[in-house]
Structure 1
Amino acid sequence: MTTTEIADTRERLRAAGLRATDQRMAVLTALETHPHADAAEVFAAVLPGLPDTSVQAVYGVLAALTDAGLVRRIEPAGSPARYELRVGDNHHHIVCTRCGAIGDVDCAVGSAPCLTPAGTSGFTVTTAEVTYWGLCPDCAAAPLT
Structure 2
Amino acid sequence: MTSSVDFPLLLRSADLRVTRPRLAVLDAVHAHPHASTDALIDAVRRALPDVSHQTVYDSLHTLTGAGLLRRIQPAGSVARYESRTGDNHHHLICRSCGTIADVDCAVGEAPCLTAADDHGFSIDEAEVVYWGTCPACTTSSSNAR
1:94 counterpart SS class: strand
Q: 1:85 aligns with which of 83, 86, 89?
A: 83
User: 1:60 corresponds to which residue?
Assistant: 58
What per-residue deviation string (whole Å, max 9, x for no partner) do you get for residues 86-139 of structure 1?
Answer: 000021001000010000010121211435322111012222210000011111
**Percent identity over the alignment?**
55
Structure 1: unaligned runs, 5 residues or longer: none
- 1:96 matched to 2:94: yes
Query: Which letter maps to 1:52?
Result: D
What is the CA-CA distance between 1:56 and the residue it aligns to?
A: 1.8
User: 1:97·1:135 contact (CA, 8 Å) conserved in 2?
Assistant: yes
Distance 1:16 1:52, change over 3 A: same
1:50 is aligned to 48
Instruction: Give the aligned partner of residue 16 of structure 1.
Output: 14
Report the TM-score when normalising by structure 1: 0.91
Partner of 2:118: 120
Matches for 1:3-42 after TM superposition, within 5 Å: 5=4, 8-42=6-40
Per mean C-alpha deviation after superposition, the further-off stretch among 21-30 and 118-127 is: 118-127
Quick check: 1:112–1:126 contact (8 Å CA) kept in 2? no
Runs (4 or more) in structure 1 with deviation over 6 Å come to none
Equivalent pairs counted in the alignment come to 143
Letter matched to residue 68 of structure 2: L
The 2-side partners of 1:110 and 1:74 are apart by 21
